[in-house]
Structure 1
């Protein structure tokens, strides 16, 4: 098992927790935020020497044992983070249900008595708090083991293969070009395409905002690329524009990118004055039916979003803005919650196909021995396409069973 691939998956999930709202649910548990930061630093320090360690394990048994312990801890950490994220998603759903129940209780308060409601609520709160503390304790224990592994690495004098260790994994800029081959997501793609092409008589919003929401590594960008390059979509819109936003949300840079996509020779794209840029956008899209994809949106302020959307309202009816984001708060700010597509985990069979494709292995001819291990690896991916793709790529040159 490639320790570097597993560490990359764990670090990506820790980055999601550090940057997203996931961490907010556990702030009442003392020390969790500090432990997450410490854990991230320790894992980054270990990852910096893994290339050398992977090479030396072939001839050095002590290095092989060290990597085995690191892999075991990484698997346990991935399980804990999965429980954490699952608990937060469950809590979000409960909040929505409680809001509806509260309204019902208020409406019927004079007619019906609910003697056990408060006690049930109290028990639920206690159970949730115990679960959070359990996860926090396990994170602390795992962090202590990782710190010990990090300390032990000093005795091996590994070569550091990175010149700089970033605090968080850096997001690579995306483009509208689709992947050569994709797996799954047909139903989600068809749903989004239908939303893009529909022209209901009751439609009043221009442009209509359609968000794709999901945790990091779930395949939001890949899905948006598939949709953007669908032949029906291509023929339906006068203009298709792709902008990779990322964090922070900078409306001037986004406006410049939109103008660049619409008219590469337009000199206004070089301006740093927002009003100049929005006026140019207003003119360029006037009367046109456009599709704008804003990929990887994090945390815009309301004032920033309102300024950016103003010129886009000058497009023709049927114009669309497709947004990919990890954060539901962003969708609430954009007032697009009713159009939201929530991206769930990829099915195991699709994950397995993605894994074999990136490992450059013909799935139909793989031996049972390799397939059994492949299934175990894919189960650890927890339905994350990015994890399956990353692990598959690292298996590409490993042709012997002991290497898996």
Structure 2
């Protein structure tokens, strides 16, 4: 009896202490949430005002860019704090784990679980405090910059920048755009091996926004007024007739801007043609912009190379949240917001995947549908592909030489979608496929044989369309092909193909 009473009183004391600690911790976190919201509002006002100005000072651009990154980190910490309570409610893994070791209310194991959850809260408190301190420091650092912002003229907003939907506006490349504009409009000509041309190399992985950045720059009225002609050479081609037309039409020494998008490697012969073009039909002040996935083009630059990277995870989550929920406030659907955060982690910064997945999620605002998409993207797409080839699908598609992919289809276990190649085109250049990647992965469409799918059509200039060459492959067929290839090569291997494991 005494042992039972001591256990009861001990449990009551433990629960009382836990109640007061949790109540104090909850009040403290609510105060931190309010403070972080206020500081984020101040940071957003400064960033929005800076983005509306034509800033030419590179130091000021870097300061604003650092403040923008800190703002995205703050929004990510705030959302993590808000939606952490729904982790166990929305995750089937936690439910299975809880049911598998159901113990009594007085068990020591449950106390260990409570202590681990409190440690998780402590780490989240530290994350919020770090984001709050970082934002406050950045706002103090740019206090003088805010005073100088009014000295810069306001930007002329073009029609496609007036849309309220974020997918219709360039996101996360404001500083890079201003740097390219400064190179084109304000950087004086320098002597180089091209004699008349200054060259800006832009390097970055596939689908990171190089073409979109250049299109926005070239659509700027200041750039169009500064150069007599803007010539585009895409997909690594510069034909003799193209150069002849430019040479004949602009033989009177006018300023020329050449945008050259390299696909693969830039050959010496092609570069020599551009050198000939620079000396035959352009005057001092003409410039070249070269974009490529390869770092080899950095040797051709006469100025510092601009390197584009995928968006940081915090900025990518901000973008994915906005295009997924649209005008709907995520705080009205906290469970869906938590699921969206988990889904964004599996996409690894892919803008194409973000737009496809957001469209699928917006089709059905239900917990069951979003849980199904999370389970599919996390297990059938990412984990399966990494176990097969040791890399994320986004990494395979954005390499200098993209490699084939095997993707599982939603609800299908007997066949995979084999993506053999991909390429980009403009909607006006060729007829687009009627089947979309969304239909094949998430819908009931099952084409036969080899076919092409439209992965995504960008609503931004230059309106690129991403097309994949695909094939539905049965698992048994792949096993037979694998065994035949091994037999023909004289290799004997025990076991099954790793692609179906």
The reply to whether TM is greater than 0.5 is no
Structure number with higher strand proportion: 2
> What TM-score do you get using the length of structure 2 for normalisation?
0.37
- The structure with higher relative contact order (CA 8 Å, sep 6+) is 1
